[in-house]
Structure 1
Amino acid sequence: MPNKSAKQEAVKAYSESAVRNNLSIVEYCRTSTAALSGCTAGILGLTSLHGALFYVLSITTLWILILWKAGFSSWQKYFISRKSLLVSGLFGQLFTYILCWTFIYGMVHVY
């Protein structure tokens, strides 16, 4: 039969307001990164698959930077799951990326 200290160590409590605040900051960073990388892809003239790969690269880089800032070994203090941190806003910010990408590409390379 496990002792009380083993049961107490297994329970993790999170502050809901702190987790929401952290995810709100990450969402803001994702939006900014999507807009900035979309503008960069437009200026560089990336098209089709190269532009899509640039988006994946920029989002992955942001994910690594967030984990680095939180601490690779202590990210659990700030976020519930590493996977959800990467995937949760992936497609939501894709539209921001495409909007900035096509607008800047059109302004620089078409006109």
Structure 2
Amino acid sequence: MTNKIKSEPSIAYSESAIRNNLSIVEYCRTSVAAVSGCTAGVLGLTSLYGALFFIFAVTSFWFMLLCKAGIDTWRKFFISRKSLLLNGIFGHFFTYILCWTFIYGMVHVY
């Protein structure tokens, strides 16, 4: 009895296309952070509820992105699914906090 190991065919990626896709995702992620921060500010969310809203917004965007790319075909456009979720999350969190506190202060404090 012989064990045959199936090797997956190697996939060639276009570096410029991947870089372009990631820059578009970065722009969209920044926009989502700003819009969700403004939404949290208008809704008057504070402390833990505001942080949970950010996590909800990030994961919602991630699922929408994967659905748009195709549940089975996302590998054609991106290298890693995990990197789509976690790349630059702290920088976008700071954008979220900036918009959240600014709009919260404008609507609920002044």
Structure 2: 5+ residue stretches without partners: none
Task: Give the match for residue 100 of structure 2.
Answer: 101
Shift of 1:10: 2.5
How many angstroms apart in 1 are the aligned matches of 2:33 and 2:67? 19
Q: Secondary structure at the match of 1:86?
A: helix
Task: Give the match for residue 33 of structure 1.
Answer: 32
Deviations 1:35-83 (A, max 9, x none): 0000000000000000000000000000000000000000000000000
Q: Secondary structure at the match of 1:68?
A: helix
TM-score in terms of structure 2 length: 0.93
Q: Percent identity?
A: 70
1:42 aligns with 2:41: yes
RMSD: 1.6
How many angstroms apart in 1 are the aligned matches of 2:71 and 2:91? 25
Task: State how 1:1-111 maps to structure 2 within 5 Å.
Answer: 9-111=8-110
Q: Which runs of 4+ in 1 moved over 6 A?
A: none
One-letter amino acid of the structure 2 residue matched with residue 88 of structure 1: N
Shift of 1:31: 0.4
TM-score in terms of structure 1 length: 0.92
Q: Secondary structure at the match of 1:93?
A: helix
One-letter amino acid of the structure 2 residue matched with residue 81 of structure 1: S
